[in-house]
Structure 1
Amino acid sequence: MGRKPRIWFPDSFYHIVCRGNRRDALFKDTSDYKIFLHMLSEVNKKTPFELASYCLMSNHFHLQLRSQEQHISKVMSLLNKRYADYYNTKNNLSGHVFEKRYFDKAIDSNFGLLDVSRYIHLNPVKAGIVEKPESYRWSSYRYYLHTTHHKLIDFNHILKHFTGNELEKREKYQQFTEDKSTKIGV
């Protein structure tokens, strides 16, 4: 029996998760994380997408992205193929790097968009790696708090749901992320 075809909604953001084969580490050292982010940027040049948030954990990664020009599967195929080739070459391995097909779920509401971003950014905290999400180096969260421009992250998709000037929106997003009782737009 063949695989069920993936459904693509060009106007929707997706929560994408990809794990290492047998839950093995995808990122063994700092250079692996840096190479992956570089590859993500290079794939974006070839098959444009909008990235709202990301988090790279040792054995999996989360992306919150939307591709309006190409099917999400095209973006992920390019990214995972490039990274698998790099990983296998670097580690003198062959075969599968990723556990199975990546997980993807369309995000169908504004709250869903914010909730997935919060979930992604809190992943290192829930895993016990850091106490505060901005302390985790391989996540987009710290950029939300301290950067007004990033070559890959489009902050507006998340921050537009909060009121106030740019600084106030960032502070409200931080409250929303770190305190589940905080309401949107407050």
Structure 2
Amino acid sequence: MPLPADSKRLRIGRYSQKGQIYLVTSITHNRQPFFNDWVTGRLLVNHFRKAQQEGWANALAWVVMPDHFHWLLELEKKDLPALVLTVKSRAARDINTHLGRSGQLWQRGFHDRAIRKEEDLLSAGRYIITNPIRAGLVTRVHDYPLWDAKWI
């Protein structure tokens, strides 16, 4: 049985290392599809970019799905939990304002996986950018507006 997203056991062994590449996934509260509207999704993307501009992480690839995101990043300054918390909280404030709502936007916690080999990096990048196709949202990657990859 899968662990709840906020389970403390998800954090056991979590280690942040500068220069390490991580695949991070976070889900909206109750899987609400806040990002069906691409304008709302761009508000989250702005915070991925802001984290990069502030030197916290180097974004390698990302996709914003209707109810979650995947973000492949190389960690720079902050530790991983602080980085994800900062991005999610800043984005929640902007998104709630944009949607004229208040309350919880994200499920607590996040899932991360350290990428250790070059072939794992390419596999993770492909997984991220093809997520909208697997979800049946589009038939071609370029038809989906909420993704980017450093290699493309």
User: Contact 1:66/1:72 (CA < 8 Å) preserved in 2?
Assistant: no
Superposed CA deviations along residues 74-93 of structure 1, whole A, max 9, x for unmatched, are: 22111100111122233343
Q: Partners in 2 of 1:100 and 1:132 — Cα distance?
A: 32
Once the two structures are TM-superposed, the CA of residue 28 in structure 1 deviates from its matched residue by: 4.0
User: Contact 2:130/2:141 (CA < 8 Å) preserved in 1?
Assistant: yes
Opposite residue 102 of structure 1, the aligned amino acid is: F
Instruction: Name 1:75's counterpart in structure 2.
Output: 83
Opposite residue 124 of structure 1, the aligned amino acid is: P
Instruction: Name 1:42's counterpart in structure 2.
Output: 50
Q: Partners in 2 of 1:128 and 1:14 — Cα distance?
A: 26
Superposed CA deviations along residues 162-182 of structure 1, whole A, max 9, x for unmatched, are: xxxxxxxx7xxxxxxxxxxxx
The question of 1:117 aligning with 2:125 is answered: yes
User: Contact 1:19/1:98 (CA < 8 Å) preserved in 2?
Assistant: yes
* SS of structure 2 residue aligned to 1:140: strand
11, 22, 25: which is aligned to 1:14? 22
Superposed CA deviations along residues 59-86 of structure 1, whole A, max 9, x for unmatched, are: 1111000113221222211110011112
Opposite residue 66 of structure 1, the aligned amino acid is: E
* Percentage of matched positions with identical amino acids: 21
Runs of 4+ in 1 over 4 A off after TM superposition: none
> Larger relative contact order (C-alpha < 8 A, sep ≥ 6)?
2
80, 87, 96: which is aligned to 1:88? 96
Structure 1 unpaired stretches of 5+:
142-152, 156-169, 171-186
Instruction: Name 1:140's counterpart in structure 2.
Output: 148
User: Contact 2:55/2:76 (CA < 8 Å) preserved in 1?
Assistant: no
Once the two structures are TM-superposed, the CA of residue 26 in structure 1 deviates from its matched residue by: 2.8
Structure 2 unpaired stretches of 5+:
1-6
* SS of structure 1 residue aligned to 2:127: helix
Opposite residue 81 of structure 1, the aligned amino acid is: S
* SS of structure 2 residue aligned to 1:50: strand
Q: Partners in 2 of 1:77 and 1:110 — Cα distance?
A: 27
| Number of residue pairs the alignment of both structures matches | 143
- Greater share of strand residues, 1 or 2? 2
Instruction: Name 2:64's counterpart in structure 1.
Output: 56
Q: Which protein has the larger Cα radius of gyration, Structure 1 or Structure 2?
A: 1
* SS of structure 2 residue aligned to 1:95: coil
Q: Partners in 1 of 2:102 and 2:143 — Cα distance?
A: 34
Instruction: Name 1:127's counterpart in structure 2.
Output: 135
Instruction: Name 1:25's counterpart in structure 2.
Output: 33
